[in-house]
Amino acid sequence: MPGKQTLTDQLDFQQDPVTAGPQVKVTVNITERMGAPLTFDAANYEELYQQVAARAAQRKEAGSVTCDLSADLKTDASGALTAAVIDAPLVTMLPAWPQKARQPQADQAKFDAWRASVEAHETTHRDIYKREYPKFKTAIVGPDEKAGDAQFKAVSAAAEAAQDAFDASSQPAPLAAPGGIIQVPRRNATDVTTAASADPDPYADL
Ligand SMILES: [Zn+2]
């Protein structure tokens, strides 16, 4: 039995190799670590909000879990698939605001609440990989390298589909608007009346 690898003090684990099918030994190594943060260089909360909103408008998340997935397929002299070693290093990125400590407590709290929501979202992305990737152990059965590669790709594609389904069903909570103002997204032309509500009497000067 191979020794348990401890790369860093981050959570990581190695799954024990198991024999899948009559002869293909599949090993799945899933590791987890934190990557560099996504830094929002913003002097105040208003700037932060603008930057976060601009990123969201591009449909980019403020966090991520990436995986440089690789498979090493081994064959014997006859071309039969004998083993597969899958490496799945999960790297999580979360947002950071370097100027946070100098901000009002209320703004810090709004950032922290938002970051926690992003963190919970990315944790689920990791959980999906940790649920899907062990399926390599039973899916990769050969009989040859070509078949093994197709079996590898099928599990990988299913995992990505599961990630997309999660994103379609659940997104992190948005960053709270600055100044405690509740901003209601305008859905159609009838909503323009809400803009006038900021001025209780737009005709007072007439
Ligand atoms: Zn997501």
Interval 43-74: pLDDT, tens:
999 999 999 999 989 988 899 999 999 999 99
Q: How far is the CA of 6 from the centre of ligand 1 (A)?
A: 27
What are residue 18's phi and psi, to 5 degrees? -130, 160
Q: How far is the CA of 116 from the centre of ligand 1 (A)?
A: 14
Question: Global pTM?
Answer: 0.75
Nearest to 82 by CA among 74, 93, 90, 92: 74
* Percentage helix, strand, coil for the chain under 3-state DSSP, each rounded to 5: 40, 20, 35
Q: How far is the CA of 167 from the centre of ligand 1 (A)?
A: 5
Q: How far is the CA of 201 from the centre of ligand 1 (A)?
A: 44
Helix (H) or strand (E) run with residue 92 in it: strand 81-93
Contact 136, 155 (CB under 8 A): yes
Contact 16, 1 (CB under 8 A): yes
If phi > 0 it is left, if psi is from -120 to 50 it is alpha, else beta; for residue 95 that is beta
pLDDT at 179: 79
Q: How far is the CA of 125 from the centre of ligand 1 (A)?
A: 7
Q: How far is the CA of 63 from the centre of ligand 1 (A)?
A: 8
3-class DSSP state of 60: coil
**Mean pLDDT on 107-127:** 97
pLDDT surpassing 70 at residue 174: yes
- More confident of the two residues 108 and 181: 108
> Exposed (0-12), middle (13-18) or buried (19+): which is 15, by Cβ within 10 Å?
middle
pLDDT in tens, 3-49: 444 343 334 444 445 444 458 999 999 999 999 999 999 999 999 99
> CA-CA distance, 87 to 67, in Å (whole number)?
9
Q: Which residues surround ligand 1, an ion (CB under 5 A)?
A: 167
